[in-house]
Structure 1
């Protein structure tokens, strides 16, 4: 009987059921189907082609948990004018971060359980990505139009509506298949870039220099660069497409994408911290 919790049980694509065959360029290191949560989680203890994906997500959870605690103590201690609304917009950002990273980590741990569990967690993984995208734009829009509440409400409603449409799409079963991978990536990318509309409006109305000071404009541009780069690498399966089998354990496009997501989230966080301090600074606040 095959031991499903040992590294010598790892499989090649030809040994997998169709629902586990998601990348034709990753040629080894696949875990067999376990039909057991405990056995899937035990794979944390040995090396396979999802190990780096799982641990990068866990690292990100710890990192942003520490950042959330540090910011709570430092920012609100220095800014007595901070309100419950500030708490809410920062909470929206960190809730999106934690939802995305925790759900994605769980998905990568459990994707070898069974087809039914794979499908369920794939949906949750997609919804976590949507939470990250939508939640990250809340503080940027809020602080970017801090004195123009009607404008900020318009853009927040727009981003929320687009996120809801994307979520409904993710719930459609055939839209979650590998054949729709490129379309899903374009959909997530488009949602992320939709934040460019309020950014462009702010740059036009305020000027780039003021927009950078008031909403962290330059940091958001850097975030979009990381986001587009990561999506491109993921879609085109670079570098494993060039040298199939060489990046099965380390260096695959999905892992590079995860690293760029961390950089994206960090650059965005720097931007919203800068925006918070500007809008609450005694010498810089406008209203």
Structure 2
């Protein structure tokens, strides 16, 4: 009897232990999922603020933050000197740098390289650096540990295009993207010259020129970002302008093709999209000192506004029962999927987050971002050409109610 009672108590104890372990497991899973989602949202919002020009920094607060964190780290290193390895200390520095990486200081530093340099000094500048020795403003990704360029002259920046660094793929991916869209410009204009009216040629040319500008400005940014911190922020502005320009081209080409047969609505949407873009760009002028939240609101409004003409067109065309809607809506969704994947990879810093130092030169998140951006722009170009071909073969619908 006692043995049976003991077995029952043991079974009950095991059941409670299993239930508790299950609750702990689910709780951990919940908190891990919550952390990942929160991190992605926070980083995405920070990127939108950077694009809108919201990010600002107080020099004294930044110095105080860095000094306090450095002091805490140093104290921990002293107290645990016997238990910590040198590899732990190496990780500390890049982790701290992540706190202020993409926040623009009020007065970015100029290049420390002054005047003429000797061949010996130039040779030293060619040496690639680990993250601990690289200029701090370049180490915004703490999982890329090697292959950094130090401060370079203009000549060496251009020369570094042909080096094997952690920026090589970033530079060349968009150089090849520029070549792709340059070739498409020549091909499309020759093809459209046979059939299409002048307005179609203009919109296709503008679309591809904006895509080329995005590619070139991105490559320039990655090439000259190591010249100085001041130049880094300057060329980053050009890079972001190229992104905004490509978004404008996507909007305007989509509106132009969707309302091809309805010129009044076409002009209305084209003017409003262009007007929002101009307002967003004017608000970036530093001398205006526009509140950062206003800038952010304009950019968010611009992004959300694109849904309106899409819904207007889809409903007016009769929904998915219309062949042209059935053909193009999935392609529009495909564009969002590609762009969303690119943004998610860029923000989450995958795969280097899980393999620090293993994809420094090839395979990092920023390189995947570049490849997917080229794919998204090329995909949208092909979508536009499909619409042009459909309109040439079928003309304008007679039952479209707007």
On whether the aligned pair clears a TM of 0.5, the verdict is: yes
Structure 1 counterpart of 2:351: 239
Structure 2 counterpart of 1:46: 163
Q: Name the CA distance, whole Å, in 1 between partners of 2:124 and 2:312.
A: 55
Q: Deviations over 1:49-87 (max 9, x none)?
A: 00000110111111111111111112332x1xx222112
Residue 213 of structure 1, CA deviation: 5.6
Residue 154 of structure 2 contacts residue 224 of structure 2 at CA under 8 Å; is this kept in 1? yes
SS in 1 for 2:132: helix
**Of residues 243, 246, 271 in structure 1, which corresponds to 2:383?**
271
**Of residues 57, 61, 66 in structure 1, which corresponds to 2:174?**
57
SS in 1 for 2:371: helix
Where relative contact order (Cα < 8 A, 6+ residues apart) is larger, the structure is 1
| Distance verdict in 2 for CA 1:37–1:193, change over 3 Å | farther
Residue 165 of structure 1, CA deviation: 4.3
| Distance verdict in 2 for CA 1:167–1:26, change over 3 Å | farther
Q: Deviations over 1:250-271 (max 9, x none)?
A: 1111111111111111111111
Residue 172 of structure 1, CA deviation: 5.3
**Of residues 205, 222, 226 in structure 2, which corresponds to 1:112?**
226
Is 1:199 matched up with 2:342?
no
In the TM superposition, 1:1-287 aligns within 5 A as 1=121, 3=123, 6=126, 9-34=127-152, 36-77=153-194, 79=195, 82-168=196-282, 191=302, 194-206=305-317, 207-208=319-320, 210=322, 212=324, 216-281=328-393, 283-286=394-397
Q: Name the CA distance, whole Å, in 1 between partners of 2:341 and 2:299.
A: 13
Which sections of structure 1, spanning at least 5 residues, go unmatched?
Answer: 174-179
The structure with the larger Rg is: 2
Residue 203 of structure 1 contacts residue 211 of structure 1 at CA under 8 Å; is this kept in 2? no
Residue 143 of structure 1 contacts residue 215 of structure 1 at CA under 8 Å; is this kept in 2? no
| Distance verdict in 2 for CA 1:237–1:165, change over 3 Å | farther
| Distance verdict in 2 for CA 1:61–1:99, change over 3 Å | same
Residue 187 of structure 1, CA deviation: 8.8
Structure 2 counterpart of 1:177: none
Residue 27 of structure 1, CA deviation: 0.9
RMSD: 2.8
Q: Name the CA distance, whole Å, in 2 between partners of 1:257 and 1:120.
A: 21
Q: Name the CA distance, whole Å, in 2 between partners of 1:214 and 1:146.
A: 17
Q: Name the CA distance, whole Å, in 2 between partners of 1:255 and 1:189.
A: 26
Q: Name the CA distance, whole Å, in 2 between partners of 1:65 and 1:226.
A: 22
| Distance verdict in 2 for CA 1:252–1:221, change over 3 Å | same
Q: Name the CA distance, whole Å, in 1 between partners of 2:301 and 2:219.
A: 24
Residue 224 of structure 2 contacts residue 232 of structure 2 at CA under 8 Å; is this kept in 1? yes
Q: Name the CA distance, whole Å, in 1 between partners of 2:251 and 2:326.
A: 14
Residue 110 of structure 1 contacts residue 118 of structure 1 at CA under 8 Å; is this kept in 2? yes
Residue 185 of structure 2 contacts residue 205 of structure 2 at CA under 8 Å; is this kept in 1? no
| Distance verdict in 2 for CA 1:147–1:214, change over 3 Å | farther
| Distance verdict in 2 for CA 1:57–1:71, change over 3 Å | same
Q: What is the TM-score of this pair, normalised by structure 2?
A: 0.62
SS in 2 for 1:14: coil
Residue 230 of structure 1, CA deviation: 0.6
Residue 193 of structure 2 contacts residue 201 of structure 2 at CA under 8 Å; is this kept in 1? no
Which sections of structure 2, spanning at least 5 residues, go unmatched?
Answer: 1-120
Residue 320 of structure 2 contacts residue 326 of structure 2 at CA under 8 Å; is this kept in 1? no
Q: Name the CA distance, whole Å, in 2 between partners of 1:211 and 1:162.
A: 32
Q: Name the CA distance, whole Å, in 2 between partners of 1:48 and 1:157.
A: 43
